[in-house]
Structure 1
Amino acid sequence: MDFVNKLTGGSQGGQEKKQEDPEQKSSGGIVDKLHAMAGGGKESEKNEDALDKGVDWVQEHILGQGDQSNESAVEQAKDERISDFIRDQYKKTTGSEFPIKDKERF
């Protein structure tokens, strides 16, 4: 019976319905366009430098924070602050610039 419930997405006679995670589903509508205008979304993810992508990778795979491929502008700004902190600490420690150049966002 569990197999059937998993297959149909229900449980206990269909009383529970499977809920979709709204962050996992992208509609491509007006919300996504506003999201991109604010500096977030998939297009902004393409413009990240390698350190920002590394921060995303750690958040997704090590910290288990979920998919990082379509972050909001706020999340991307937070990631940028993290990468700037890493660059600053690297420079303070070694005396030289971080080997990966920071991409200009605008």
Structure 2
Amino acid sequence: MVIVEHRADNSIAVQLLELTNVPAAQRPLRIELGVLGALGGGCRTACSAHAAYDDAGTQVHVIASVFAPEGGTAVNVKFAQPAGGDQAVVDKVAQSLRDGGAGTLLPPG
């Protein structure tokens, strides 16, 4: 998967990127970005999230981690649930990371 950031007012870029858009990739991407956002993270946050649906699209699996900026310490979670309610998945994963101590590894703010 490739993510391309572009200016919303660039209609040529929007049209070109729509040609390469894969709708099935949007749901997992929303979950991945949602977890980062729910943790208050950004581009420089030592955090990762990977979401994938099973072949039937009935189950979502998420693996997420928050890492200490200096290395050495990490909080990892694996999560699976029936598909549907992407925001609920985001909330559960983010809360599981916090419950595991991720808050102490995230930058203040």
- TM-score tier (shorter): 0.3 to 0.5
Higher strand share: 2
TM-score (norm 1): 0.32
